[in-house]
C-alpha cells in the first residue's frame, strides 16, 4: 500500500481555508509576544521521532493478544508501515530495529527501501532478555551481569554483532535495555552483578565505532520484581560516566516509580551532557506503554520545557527520540499517529514558553508568575501551527483522519490477511 501526495493534497484542500484562519489568529498572537515563527517552523519540520520495528503489530499482555489484522510480517512490511506514517505526518522519519527480530537478509535492498520512503535507521536495539532457539547458554538468570562468564560473553558478543548490523544500515547508536536483575532477596550479589555488568559494557563500548553512541536504559522493576541491575538514572549515569564520552543515559518515561519528577532528571542529565536517548509513552501505574500524552500531557509539557531549555543552553547532544509504546486495543498505526501528535504538541507548547519572562520571574521569586507563564503556553492550542507546518511540508493536515479516509488498515488487511502476527513483544 502506498499513499500518494495527490491523495493527501485532496484531503488537505478541504481543510485549507479554515486552517489558514486559525493559523493567522494564533500567529498574530505569538508574533506580538516575540515568538519567531520561522524558527519554530524549522524546529517542527526537523523534529523526527523513531518508530520501533516492534510497534507495528498488536501488542499484548501476558494474558492474551488480540490482533487487529494486516500486521507486517517481514522487515520490508514494517518499513513500509513506517513509510505510510511518515508520509502522513512528516515526523516519523526514523526506524529503530531490534536484533535478532529484524536482521535484514539483503542490506542493499533494505537500505534502498528505507531511502525510497525517506526513512533513516536510528538506534539499534540488542536483545538479551530472551533466549534464541539455538543458544547454548540461557539468560534466565541474567545476561551482561551474569556470574557465569560464558553466558556473559554470549551477551557481550551479541551486542557487538548488533553494532555490526547497525553499521551496515547507517545507524549511529546502540540502545541497551537489560532485563537483568533478581526477583527474590538473596538471589544476587548486587555488587558482583554491577561489577560484571560494568565489565561487559566496557567490552561493548570498546567495539563502538568512533562516531557511535551507547545508550543505557534503566528500569526500576519488571521483568524482575525485587531488583533490576540498572534500576534508575543514577546507576545508568554512573555507568555512562565510567565508560566515557560515547556513553549516555536513556530515559524511558514509563521507567520511573509513581510521581517521580522526570523533568528534573532530564534537566540534570542534560546539564551533565549525558542524556542520549528518549523513549516516549504514557502510564498510570508502571511501564504501561500507553499512547503518549493520553494521561499526563502536562507532565509531558514540563519535560519538554526542560528538553528545550537543555537543547538551547547546554552542550548536550540532541537525544535520539523514539516511541516505545505497546498497542493492545488500538490499531497500532492509529496509536502511533496519536503519539507523534502528542509529542509535537508538547514540543511546540514548550517552544512558545516566554523564556525571558520566566527567567525574570524566577529571579524575582515570583512563584505565581512562573506558574502563569508555563500554563499560558500549556493552555495554548498549538494545533494550527503543527497542521500548517505539515501542510507546507506536503504532509497531512490531519493524519488520523486521512488514515481513516484512505482506508489504510482495510487495505493492509486485504494485502496481508487478518491472521498474520508481527514479531515483537
Ligand atoms: C522495556 O521495558 C524497555 O522499554 C525497552 O526499551 C523496550 O521496550 C524493549 O527493548 C523492546 O524490546
Ligand atoms: Zn524503552
Ligand atoms: Zn519499557
Quote the Cα angle for 413-418-419, to 5°: 145
What pLDDT band is residue 62 in, cutting at 50, 70 and 90? confident
For ligand 1, atom 10, which residue shows the shortest CA distance? 177
Outline where 297-417 has alpha helix (H). Answer: 297-313, 332-351, 355-363, 367-379, 383-392, 399-405, 408-416
What is the number of other CB atoms lying within 10 angstroms of the CB of residue 25? 11
How many angstroms is it from 293 CA to the middle of ligand 3? Answer: 16
pTM recorded for the entire structure:
0.97
How far is it, in rounded angstroms, from Cα 150 to Cα 164? 21
What pLDDT band is residue 68 in, cutting at 50, 70 and 90? confident
Whether the complex's predicted ipTM is more than 0.85 is answered with: yes
Contacts 24+ apart (CB under 8 A), 310-317: 310/266, 310/267, 310/270, 310/271, 310/275, 311/270, 312/355, 314/270, 314/271, 314/273, 315/273, 316/269, 316/270, 316/271, 316/273, 316/274, 316/275, 317/213, 317/248, 317/273, 317/275, 317/276
Nearest alpha-carbon partner for 423 in 54, 51, 132: 54
How far is it, in rounded angstroms, from Cα 94 to Cα 50? 4
How far is it, in rounded angstroms, from Cα 94 to Cα 115? 11
Q: Tell me the per-residue pLDDT of 343-398, one tens digit each, with 9 for 90 and over.
A: 999 999 999 999 999 999 999 999 999 999 999 999 999 999 999 999 999 999 99
How far is it, in rounded angstroms, from Cα 407 to Cα 269? 43
Domain ranges across the chain: 49-350
Measured on CA atoms in the order 321, 326, 331, 335, is the torsion positive or negative? negative
Q: Tell me the per-residue pLDDT of 134-184, one tens digit each, with 9 for 90 and over.
A: 999 999 999 999 999 999 999 999 999 999 999 999 999 999 999 999 999
φ, ψ of residue 130 to 5 degrees: the values are: -135, 150
How many angstroms is it from 407 CA to the middle of ligand 3? Answer: 31
How many angstroms is it from 111 CA to the middle of ligand 1? Answer: 24
Contact between 251 and 277 (Cβ < 8 Å) = yes
Q: What is the mean pLDDT of the chain?
A: 96
Residue 406: what pLDDT? Answer: 98
Q: Tell me the per-residue pLDDT of 176-186, one tens digit each, with 9 for 90 and over.
A: 999 999 999 99
- Ligand 1, pocket-test mutation among 177, 224, 277, 327, most atoms within 8 A of CB: 177
For ligand 1, atom 8, which residue shows the shortest CA distance? 324
- Ligand 1, pocket-test mutation among 252, 277, 321, most atoms within 8 A of CB: 252
Pocket around ligand 1: residues whose beta carbon is below 6 Å from it? 54, 98, 125, 177, 217, 219, 252, 279, 287, 324, 425
Residue with the three cell numbers 534537566: 267
Residue 67: what pLDDT? Answer: 84
How far is it, in rounded angstroms, from Cα 223 to Cα 195? 21
The answer regarding whether domain 49-350 maps to CATH 3.90.550.10 reads no
Contact between 32 and 76 (Cβ < 8 Å) = no
Residue 1: what pLDDT? Answer: 94
Helix (H) or strand (E) segment spanning residue 128: none
Q: Is the peptide bond before 223 cis (omega within 30 degrees of 0)?
A: yes
Least confident of 60-64, 164-168, 175-179, 264-268: 60-64
- With 0-12 / 13-18 / 19 or more C-beta atoms within 10 angstroms meaning exposed / middle / buried, residue 405 is middle
Q: Tell me the per-residue pLDDT of 79-127, one tens digit each, with 9 for 90 and over.
A: 999 999 999 999 999 999 999 999 999 999 999 999 999 999 999 999 9
Amino acid at each position: 500500500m502506498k499513499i500518494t501526495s495527490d491523495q493527501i493534497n485532496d484531503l488537505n484542500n478541504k481543510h485549507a481555508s479554515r486552517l489558514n484562519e486559525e493559523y493567522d489568529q494564533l500567529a498574530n498572537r505569538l508574533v506580538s509576544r516575540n515568538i519567531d515563527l520561522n524558527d519554530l517552523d524549522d524546529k517542527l519540520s526537523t523534529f523526527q521521532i523513531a518508530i520501533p520495528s516492534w510497534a507495528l503489530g498488536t501488542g499484548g499482555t501476558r494474558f492474551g493478544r488480540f490482533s487487529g489484522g494486516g500486521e507486517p510480517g517481514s522487515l520490508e512490511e514494517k518499513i513500509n508501515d513506517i513509510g505510510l506514517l511518515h508520509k502522513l505526518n512528516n515526523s516519523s522519519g526514523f526506524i529503530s530495529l531490534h536484533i535478532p527480530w529484524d536482521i535484514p537478509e539483503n542490506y542493499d535492498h533494505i537500505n534502498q527501501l528505507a531511502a525510497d520512503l525517506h526513512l533513516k535507521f536510528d538506534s539499534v536495539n540488542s536483545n538479551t532478555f530472551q533466549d534464541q532457539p539455538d543458544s547454548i547458554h540461557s539468560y534466565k538468570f541474567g545476561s551482561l551481569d551474569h556470574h557465569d562468564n560464558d553466558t556473559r560473553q554470549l551477551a557481550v558478543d551479541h551486542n557487538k554483532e548488533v553494532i555490526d548490523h547497525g553499521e551496515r544500515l547507517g545507524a549511529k547508536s546502540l540502545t541497551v535495555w537489560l532485563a537483568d536483575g533478581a526477583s527474590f532477596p538473596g538471589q544476587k550479589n548486587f555488587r558482583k552483578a554491577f561489577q560484571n555488568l560494568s565489565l561487559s559494557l566496557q567490552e561493548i563500548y570498546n567495539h563502538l565505532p568512533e562516531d557511535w553512541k551507547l545508550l543505557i536504559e534503566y528500569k526500576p522493576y519488571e521483568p524482575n520484581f525485587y531488583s533490576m541491575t540498572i534500576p534508575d538514572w543514577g546507576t545508568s549515569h554512573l555507568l555512562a560516566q565510567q565508560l566515557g564520552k560515547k556513553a549516555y543515559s536513556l530515559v524511558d518515561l514509563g521507567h520511573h516509580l509513581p510521581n517521580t519528577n522526570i523533568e528534573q532528571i532530564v534537566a540534570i542529565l542534560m546539564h551533565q551532557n549525558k542524556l542520549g536517548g528518549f523513549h516516549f509513552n504514557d502510564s498510570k501505574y508502571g511501564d504501561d506503554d500507553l499512547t503518549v500524552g493520553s494521561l499526563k500531557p502536562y507532565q509531558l509539557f514540563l519535560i519538554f520545557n526542560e528538553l528545550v531549555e537543555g537543547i538551547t543552553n547546554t552542550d548536550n547532544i540532541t537525544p535520539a527520540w523514539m516511541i516505545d509504546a505497546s498497542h493492545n486495543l488500538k490499531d497500532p498505526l492509529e496509536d502511533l499517529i496519536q503519539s507523534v501528535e502528542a509529542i509535537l504538541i508538547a514540543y511546540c507548547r514548550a517552544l512558545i514558553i516566554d523564556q525571558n519572562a520566566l527567567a525574570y520571574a524566577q529571579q524575582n521569586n515570583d512563584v505565581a508568575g512562573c506558574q502563569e507563564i508555563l500554563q499560558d503556553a500549556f493552555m495554548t492550542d498549538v494545533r494550527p501551527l503543527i497542521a500548517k507546518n505539515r501542510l507546507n511540508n506536503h504532509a497531512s493536515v490531519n493524519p488520523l483522519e486521512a488514515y481513516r479516509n484512505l482506508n489504510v488498515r482495510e487495505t493492509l488487511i486485504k494485502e496481508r490477511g487478518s491472521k498474520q502476527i508481527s514479531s515483537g513483544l
